[in-house]
Amino acid sequence: MRAAKVPKRNPLTSELDLRAIRIFVAVAEAGSFVAGGASVGLTRSAAGKALSRLEDYLGTRLFHRTTRRLSLTTEGHEFYSRCLQIIEDVQEAEASIRHDHPLPRGTLRLTVSEGYGKAIVIPFLGSLLATSPELSVEVNFTDRIVDLVEEGFDLAIRVGEAVTSTEYVTQVIARARPRLYAAPGYLEKQGVPLSTSGLEKHQRLIYGLGTTTTAWNFIDKEGQSVSVNGRIHARFDSGDAIRVAATEGMGIGLLPPFVVARELNEGKLVEVLPSISAAELAVHVIYPSRRYLPARIRTFIDEFRKYLNAKESEF
C-alpha cells in the first residue's frame, strides 16, 4: 500500500495577515484596546479578540494585562519592532510600484558622536522635523561604537574611524581637519606656544582613555609630519568634554572646527598655532544594509547631505 503523499509546506504562506499586525501595532502604541482599536476602526471587544487570536497563533503572550494597565511583554517588544519594519517594508513596496515617495513617519532612532551631534545634527533636526510632521526622533549622544541592530538604532553618525561590515553601509558625508584651541585666559597665564615643541610644556587635553595613544600628530605648513607628546593634563572619552574643559581654561585641546564654532565666535576660545593641523577626519553615516530603506532613514540621509553642502563653508 502506497503511503499518502504529504503536501509540501510553502514557506511563503502564513496565517498571520497584515491586518493582525496593524491591530497589534495600534494597540501597542496606544497602550489600550479602546484607543488602539478605534484607530483601526474596531471596538474594544473586537480588538481584544483579534489580539487573543494573534497570541494563540504565535503561542506566546504579547501583553501584560491588568484592570488598569496594558503593557508589552519582552516577546511583545521584540515582535513590535519587527512588525514596524514589516509595515514600513510594505509601504516602501507600494511606493516603488506607484513611483511616489511616502512621507517619513514613525520614530527615527539615531546615535551620533556627542560634539558633532550637538554642533551640527541638532540644528539640522530642527529643520527636518519642521517639514516632516509625522516624524519624531530619538537621539543618543555617545562617542563609543554602537551595535545598531542589537541596540535598536536606525543609523549612526561617527567622526573618525568607523567599523565596517557586510551588515552595514558606511558612507563618508563630510570631512574635517582638527586644530588646536585654548581659552584666552589660559594663554595669558601659561603663555602662547610659538612652535610644536612648545606644546610639550603645556597642559594638553587628550581624547581617549586607557592605552589610547597620547601623541598629537600634525602636518606643518611645509607639509611635513610632526609628532608632539609630553605632559598629559587630563584625558576624556568625549570630544565635547574637551571643548568644555578648554573653554574653562584647563588646557589646550585638539578638536575639529565644527565643535568649537560657537566658542570661537564668542571669543571664549582662540586657535593656537594656526599654521599646523592634524590629519583629516572623515564623518561617516552608518546604517544596516537593506535593499529598501525606510522613508525616515532615506529622507534623513538625503536631506542631511543637502544641509551639509549648503553649510560647507561654515564647517
Q: What is residue 95's predicted lDDT score, i.e. its pLDDT?
A: 63
At 205, the pLDDT band (50, 70, 90 cuts) reads very high
State pTM to two decimals: 0.65
- Please state the separation of Cα 39 from the chain's center in Å: 30
**3-state class percentages of the chain: helix first, strand second, coil last, to nearest 5:** 45, 25, 35
Residue 246 CB burial class (10 angstroms; 0-12, 13-18, ≥19): buried
Reply yes or no on whether the pLDDT at 15 is more than 70: no
Q: Which residues contact 132 (CB under 8 A, 6 or more apart)?
A: 103, 104, 105, 299
At 10, the pLDDT band (50, 70, 90 cuts) reads very low
CA distances from 139 to 34, 121, 155, 236, 249 (A): 31, 10, 10, 21, 30
Q: What is residue 206's predicted lDDT score, i.e. its pLDDT?
A: 92
Q: What is residue 105's predicted lDDT score, i.e. its pLDDT?
A: 80
Q: Which residues contact 74 (CB under 8 A, 6 or more apart)?
A: none
Number of alpha carbons in the 13 Å side-chain half-sphere of residue 81 = 13
Q: Which H/E stretch holds residue 226?
A: strand 225-228
Selection from 156-170, 250-264, 301-315 with the highest mean pLDDT: 250-264
Mean pLDDT across 135-156: 86
Q: Grid coordinates standing for 139?
A: 537621539
Q: Grid coordinates standing for 154?
A: 536606525
Other Cβ atoms closer than 10 A to 152 = 14
